[in-house]
Structure 1
Amino acid sequence: MGAADIVPGVSGGTIAFITGIYFRLLEAIGAVPRSVFRHLFRGQLKAFWQACDGTFLLSLLVGIVASIATLASAISYILAQYPILIWSFFFGLIVASVWHVGRQVRHYAPALMLPFLAGAVFSWWVTMLPASELEPSALIFFGAGAVAICAMILPGISGSFILVIMGMYVPVLDAIRAFEIGTLLIFVGGCLAGLLSVARLITWAFRHFHDLVLALLTGFMIGALNKVWPWKETLSWRTNSAGERVPLNEASVSPLSYAEMAGQDPQIVVAVICALLGLSLVLMVEWAGKKEAAN
């Protein structure tokens, strides 16, 4: 789940979903607030641990943190040095996730087109919003954590992709890479606030509107593909906190238009291979999840 959450492609929720632990995760998170008041505040540590499935949550947390810590620097480097190839890989991840989440709909019906189209149009509109030139503040880091964590536990929406849309993906990666404790604590605080407040709502929505929710998520991912399109025209620039000049607002263009504007090789063949690798990775994870469930 940590490996999925660090890249704007497959969400940690998707990994949990296809490996069969998703609803156990939601139940465990949803039980935490209630268990705090019923057991922890009364000194009943063992009862608290059992009520919120503590061993399960701890093992997940350790795995996620370890994966994020080890991958952050590598992802930052690849984004800077090989942007077309890494965004192509992410593009393939999201396409495969669209296919996987769409297949989870139990009963296909014409009525599902409405949430599907609403999700696609809304996410496309979000990807077209101009980025802010303001440097991220503590409040923005907190809000980004709260919003991104909600996406991370939804199958089909990548929390890191939400950070890309918000313009917070690179700042968060930089904070992890530089081990900025204060900034990371603020971000984690936002994650905890968002996670504890939304877990029960997500559980309720899936129980009562399973297919509608999945149709909405599928549409959201399709519209969001615009954001991870590998070939971009830079419309404006900004200077980050390290004094580096980086793109601020970008627009998707064709590979040939990119070659003309940038005067660089669009790397079409290698980009297609990277996209296929991303797609294959999701299919392999799904196959492994099914094999594990069968055993």
Structure 2
Amino acid sequence: MQWRNLYRGFFMGISDLIPGVSGGRIAFILGIYDELLASISGFFSRNWKKHFGFLLPLGIGIGITLLLFSKVIEYLLKNQPAPTQYFFMGLVVGVLPFITMQAGVKRNFTWQHFIVILLVGGALASLAFIKPQDTAVITSLTASNAIGLFFAGWAGSIAMLLPGISGSFILLVLGVYSTAIGALSNFNLSIIAVIGAGIIVGFIVSNKAISYLLKHFKYIMFAVIIGLIVGSLFVIYPGIPESGTPFVMSVIAFFTGLVVANMFSSQSKTSIVNK
């Protein structure tokens, strides 16, 4: 059992709570990204005990962190919504230099890649005009919202495995981030179970596909990720805050997000595309 993964899970759990900081990127920084993908892929193989010993402590660390810090995020969203959203925007914007550097945009991108960025970014940005930034918080399950939460968890798990985009960011874009945070904070087991089931199924089903796409279509994948990041800014933009203290706090929060994202990015010296 690799119990040192408890502290690794702690850092990945923190990142999974905050839109813009990728759990996959934290795994990469900690030097376990390849092993994480391999363990998820090999969990149902004859060597499952080895992979279980890697994944269980990691999962425990992530789970404990999510439960402990979800109340902090819920409090900030309720009491300081504008600065919190601007902090998230700073994190998202701060990811872009890391992704463009890892993809080698100037060297490796052609006009087709930029078209992919425009198409993906435009499609995601359009959500800002057809739905509110975040839907009402779900506290009880119905057949319809359970299906939606399950697939939201699935979509979030795909992002968690990518080194440049976070699962909580996807939940925010899909309008269920506040629901997930509220469920963790209030220990709403039914909501946690449905979203968690989607995440687990997503890990199992999507892991091989992500590994294949990153290996064989890595630059297209990076173009998609950049498009998602750019488009997401239109979705999570909360509007111009009120003048005075809210405005100042939002500006400070935005630049704090930029600094935090840069701190995580600066630790990665190795290129993901060569992994």
The structure where helix makes up a greater share of residues is 2
Over 6 Å off, 4+ runs:
none
> What are the within-5 Å matches in structure 2 for residues 214-293 of structure 1?
214-231=222-239, 255=240, 259=242, 265=244, 267-290=246-269
> What are the within-5 Å matches in structure 2 for residues 36-185 of structure 1?
39=46, 47-50=47-50, 52=51, 54-106=52-104, 107-110=107-110, 111-131=112-132, 137-185=145-193
Q: Secondary structure of 1:104's partner?
A: helix
> Aligned residue for 2:205?
197
- Partners of 1:155 and 1:181 in 2: CA distance: 29
- Partners of 1:140 and 1:6 in 2: CA distance: 20
- Partners of 1:126 and 1:215 in 2: CA distance: 19
Q: Secondary structure of 1:75's partner?
A: helix
Q: Secondary structure of 1:155's partner?
A: coil
Q: 1:158 to 1:129 in 2, by over 3 A?
A: farther
Q: Secondary structure of 1:8's partner?
A: coil
Residue 140 of structure 1 and its aligned partner are, at CA, apart by 2.4
Residue 11 of structure 1 and its aligned partner are, at CA, apart by 2.0
> What are the within-5 Å matches in structure 2 for residues 16-31 of structure 1?
16-31=27-42
Residue 181 of structure 1 and its aligned partner are, at CA, apart by 1.8
Residue 75 of structure 1 and its aligned partner are, at CA, apart by 0.3
Q: 1:203 to 1:270 in 2, by over 3 A?
A: same
Q: 1:286 to 1:89 in 2, by over 3 A?
A: same
Given residue 163 of structure 2, which amino acid in structure 1 is its aligned partner?
P
- Partners of 2:116 and 2:25 in 1: CA distance: 19
Residue 67 of structure 1 and its aligned partner are, at CA, apart by 1.5
Q: Secondary structure of 1:10's partner?
A: coil
Q: Secondary structure of 1:128's partner?
A: helix
Given residue 269 of structure 1, which amino acid in structure 2 is its aligned partner?
V
> Aligned residue for 1:245?
none
Given residue 57 of structure 1, which amino acid in structure 2 is its aligned partner?
L
Residue 290 of structure 1 and its aligned partner are, at CA, apart by 4.1
Residue 186 of structure 1 and its aligned partner are, at CA, apart by 2.0
Residue 289 of structure 1 and its aligned partner are, at CA, apart by 4.3
- Compute the TM-score of the two structures, normalised by the length of structure 2: 0.82
- Partners of 2:160 and 2:129 in 1: CA distance: 22
Decide whether the 8 Å contact of 1:19 with 1:286 is kept in 2.
Answer: no
Residue 138 of structure 1 and its aligned partner are, at CA, apart by 2.4
Q: 1:265 to 1:19 in 2, by over 3 A?
A: same
Task: Give structure 1 stretches of 5+ with no counterpart.
Answer: 40-46, 232-254
Decide whether the 8 Å contact of 1:20 with 1:289 is kept in 2.
Answer: no
- Partners of 2:62 and 2:137 in 1: CA distance: 30
- Partners of 2:266 and 2:207 in 1: CA distance: 27
Please give the root-mean-square deviation of Cα atoms over the aligned residues, in Å.
2.2
Query: What does the per-residue CA deviation read over 1:148-194, in whole Å, with 9 as the maximum and x for residues that have no partner?
Result: 11122122222112212222111111111111223222221111111
The structure where strand makes up a greater share of residues is 1
Residue 61 of structure 1 and its aligned partner are, at CA, apart by 1.2
